[in-house]
Amino acid sequence: MHTTMEHPKQLQHRRIGLWISKKKMKKFAFGVLAEACRNRRLELVEVDGSCSLWRQGPFDVLVHKLTDVMIGAQQGNPEDQTMMQHVEEFLQSSPHLIVLDPLPAVWKLVDRYDTYTLLEKLQPHFADSLIYTPSFALLESTDPQKILEALKVKNVTFPFVCKTRVAHGLNSHEMAVIFNRVGLKDVSPPCVAQSFVNHNATLHKVYIIGDSLSVVQRPSLRNFPSGESEMETLFFCSQEVSKAESSSELTKPLHGTHQMDSELPNEVAHQLVTAIRPVLGASLIGVDVIVDNGTGHRALIDINVFPGYDGVADFSEHLADHISKLLEEKSQETGEAALNGTNAVRLAHHHKIEATV
């Protein structure tokens, strides 16, 4: 008689759905991740957002970057709203599905004002590591007087960077550095104003993949005169300033700048990640850190959902490890739950017998 030996849970074949935009898929090393998954008895499947998830499933893990669809739905785009409804229904019908990262965690990171507010609340946890988030204010008016008042209330100083509230997607990277009151005419509300921090044109991208992190140096905006100055508003696209290959007048460190050490020690990066991961509830994130060249304090200026991890060695191995770890934890959880369930039935049965003796 042929008996099929049930694979022990940890050896069972698992299906991992990867759902990212076409733009991101073009840059994504799908084949490398698929290979890393195969080596861990995981099958990586590309999810087609235009087809039914039920037909493409079942999945044990859904790895996604749905920020564009989430933001579109939030802004009233009917197709994105329908898509998000489909996603929510699928998640509700798949209680054991591991979502990487959970939608509530991702929602916290699609609006810069929400993200900076969250980081501001974390300030006490960071104080001893000299980590902070620069002063920021929500600007909702074009009236210069109202803007000045909003800046003053939140201690935002000139120069400041004006960023869209929306943190991801095509138009989210158009920014401006405003140097004086005349420049307030360039504020396009609603936007977030964040005090500019001189940091010797060095950006540290702290890339987090579950429990592993990598710090990658990138070019960044050069130093500017502190306080109000005669400089004209500087418009720029962040995707042209802080990519590995970015190089322009904007990113050339000024000669003779006060060269306070612009490094980000690894242990500081670890302290940062230890503090923010539990609060964010996300595990595939990029944190942009710059070091104030006057004080050496570390400023958190940006958090990204599922970034490109450009420059991170063995990204696919780290991601496949993280997925395996989550599956193992889930299997133990359900194993324990089943065991508790069985024990509860056994106990109830025992009490029932006891009651009849």
Ligand X SMILES: Nc1ncnc2c1ncn2[C@@H]1O[C@H](COP(=O)(O)OP(=O)(O)O)[C@@H](O)[C@H]1O
Ligand Y SMILES: O=P(O)(O)O[C@@H]1[C@@H](OP(=O)(O)O)[C@H](OP(=O)(O)O)[C@H](O)[C@H](OP(=O)(O)O)[C@H]1OP(=O)(O)O
Residues at the binding site for ATP are: 112, 163, 194-205, 220
Binding residues for 1D-myo-inositol 1,3,4-trisphosphate: 24, 65, 173, 205, 304, 308
User: Do the Cβ atoms of 165 and 193 come closer than 8 Å?
Assistant: no
Using CB under 6 A, list all residues that contact ligand X: 134, 161, 163, 167, 173, 194, 196-197, 199, 203, 220-221, 238, 241-242, 288, 290, 301-302
CA angle at 282 for the pair 280 and 285, rounded to the nearest 5°? 100
Among the listed residues 272, 278, 219, 277, the one whose alpha carbon sits nearest the alpha carbon of residue 249: 219
Among 308, 321, 330, 331, binds ligand Y (CB under 6 A): 308
Which residues 37-76 are close enough to bind ligand Y by CB under 6 A?
65, 67
Q: How far is the CB of 79 from ligand X (least distance, A)?
A: 25
Q: How far is the CB of 288 from Mg ion (least distance, A)?
A: 4
Among 100, 200, 302, 305, binds Mg ion (CB under 5 A): 302
**Total residues binding Mg ion (CB under 5 A):** 2
State how far the Cα of 108 lies from the Cα of 145, in Å rounded to an integer. Answer: 30
- Locate all alpha helices (DSSP H) within the chain, ordered by sequence: 22-27, 30-38, 53-56, 67-74, 78-92, 103-107, 112-126, 144-153, 266-280, 315-356
What number of other Cβ atoms are within 10 A of residue 97's Cβ?
18
Q: What does R_g of the chain's alpha carbons equal in angstroms? A: 24
State how far the Cα of 318 lies from the Cα of 277, in Å rounded to an integer. Answer: 17
27 binds, among Mg ion, ligand X, ligand Y, none (CB under 5 to 8 A by kind): ligand Y
Q: Interacting stretch for ligand Y, rule CB under 6 A, among 1-9, 50-58, 95-103, 301-309?
A: 301-309
197 binds, among Mg ion, ligand X, ligand Y, none (CB under 5 to 8 A by kind): ligand X
Lay out the site mask for ligand Y across 254-293 (x = CB under 6 A, - = otherwise). --------------------------------x-x-----
**Total residues binding ligand Y (CB under 6 A):** 19
Which residues 104-163 are close enough to bind ligand Y by CB under 6 A?
none
The pairs formed by 247-255 with CB atoms below 8 angstroms and a separation of 24 or more are: 247/219, 249/222, 250/221, 250/222, 251/201, 251/219, 251/220, 251/221, 251/222, 252/201, 252/222, 253/200, 253/201, 253/202, 253/222, 253/223, 254/222, 254/223
Q: Which residue has the CB atom at the shortest distance from ligand Y? A: 308
Please count the residues of the chain: 357
Contact positions vs ligand Y (CB under 6 A) = 23-24, 27, 65, 67, 168-169, 172, 205, 238-239, 242, 286, 288, 302, 304, 307-308, 310
